[in-house]
Amino acid sequence: MSECDEVLVSLKTVQDFFRYAVSQFNQAELFFGHGNDNAYDEAAYLILHTLHLPLDTLEPFMQARLLTDEKVRLLQLIRRRVEERIPVSYLTHQAWQGEYEFYVDERVIVPRSFIYELLGEPLKPWIEYEELIHNALDLCTGSGALAIQMAHVYPEATIDAVDISLDALEVAGINVEAYGLEDRIHLIHTDLFTGLEKTYDLIVSNPPYVDAESVAELPEEYLHEPELALGSGIDGLDITRQIIQQAAKYLNPQGVLLVEIGHNRDVLEQAFPELPFTWLNTSGGDGFVFLLTREDLLLS
């Protein structure tokens, strides 16, 4: 009997597989940074999703005995997570950003931007009424997550969602269609602002921002994400510099630019000492997302 067969014979219930998955994840010292932050939650999610059970209800099913095909499928996924270090979102093709669910695969990074937390009420000092946003732009849209969330927060907005990756735009198209927003979100294949002819009331971007040193040290899980969507030059700010240098031309008067830059606040402020960055508070802290108005940008 093979090792796999022995495991399948030994594990009979949801509880058995849950215990096994947690043990395997901990023993392998997996990195959790794509939705869950510990082995317990990741094992629970993977099992419940695979068995088509409610994702917030584990306990009532713990003693349920599994069918052979269910056990085989679960064991395959657990082993892929451990042996290949694939982020769980790529195994399930499912990710959340806030309360919004998105399809994902390895053509896009797993959505995890802080910007969605800032849409709406936190921007009231600059955008008093949501209805004032008529045209918005999501640069480096990836899966389309931020564009879709903007469409819900700003009901009068038409949104252009830009990415240099055709693969990413194919995934974004799946999500835009799933939310029925084809008439309001326009997917555009281009490099940042190249070829854009409109001006916008709000521009958001979660661009690549990982510096070269950090890219070289990323956990193996991140290597499954598109390299194009992670690194951005030696200091991680190559693309952010381009956005800052060009954005004023594409903003309407009083228009707002919102950009996420990871841990690069000090480097950015040194690069643009003349700009009055406003750093917005997020669940991760107040050093990850900056705001500049069109008028601020014209100071540079």
Residue 173 and residue 72 share a domain? no
Q: What is the CATH number of the domain that holds 275?
A: 3.40.50.150
Q: State whether the Cα torsion 138-95-286-227 is positive or negative.
A: negative
Does residue 50 contact residue 73 with C-beta atoms inside 8 Å? Answer: yes
Q: Higher confidence at residue 280 or residue 9?
A: 280
pLDDT given for residue 219 in this prediction: 87
Question: Each residue of 88-140: pLDDT tens digit?
Answer: 999 999 999 999 999 999 999 999 999 999 999 999 999 999 999 999 999 99
Q: Which residues pair with 34 in a beta bridge?
A: none
Does residue 108 contact residue 94 with C-beta atoms inside 8 Å? Answer: no
pLDDT given for residue 4 in this prediction: 63
pLDDT given for residue 5 in this prediction: 58
Residue 255 and residue 154 share a domain? yes
pLDDT given for residue 30 in this prediction: 94
Mean pLDDT along residues 56-63: 90
pLDDT given for residue 2 in this prediction: 58
Mean pLDDT along residues 259-275: 90
pLDDT given for residue 157 in this prediction: 97
Residue 81 and residue 135 share a domain? no
Residue 292 and residue 205 share a domain? yes
Residue 232 and residue 149 share a domain? yes
Domain count, the chain: 2
pLDDT given for residue 9 in this prediction: 67
Which residues lie closer than 8 Å to 84 by C-beta, 6 or more apart?
none
Domain hosting 243: range is 98-297
Residue 259 and residue 137 share a domain? yes
Residue 227 and residue 127 share a domain? yes
- What tokens were used for 51? 């068995």
The residue from 40, 72, 92 where one domain ends is: 92
- pLDDT at 271 exceeding the cut of 70: yes
Average pLDDT, the chain: 92
pLDDT given for residue 7 in this prediction: 74
Neighbour count for residue 52 (Cβ, 10 Å): 7
Mean pLDDT along residues 31-47: 91
- pLDDT at 244 exceeding the cut of 90: yes
Residue 157 and residue 243 share a domain? yes
Q: Which residues pair with 163 in a beta bridge?
A: 189
Neighbour count for residue 87 (Cβ, 10 Å): 26
- What tokens were used for 215? 């890219």
Residue 83 and residue 49 share a domain? yes
The residue from 92, 127, 162 where one domain ends is: 92
In terms of average pLDDT, the best of 62-66, 175-179, 233-237 is 175-179
- pLDDT at 175 exceeding the cut of 90: yes
Burial label for 27, CB within 10 Å (0-12, 13-18, 19+), is exposed
Question: Each residue of 21-32: pLDDT tens digit?
Answer: 999 999 999 999
> What's the pTM value of the predicted model, to 2 decimals?
0.92
Single out the residue of 284, 246, 242 nearest to residue 262, CA to CA.
284
Does residue 41 contact residue 58 with C-beta atoms inside 8 Å? Answer: no
| Helix (H) and strand (E) counts in the chain | 11, 9
pLDDT given for residue 229 in this prediction: 77
Question: Each residue of 195-230: pLDDT tens digit?
Answer: 999 999 999 999 987 777 877 888 889 888 888 777
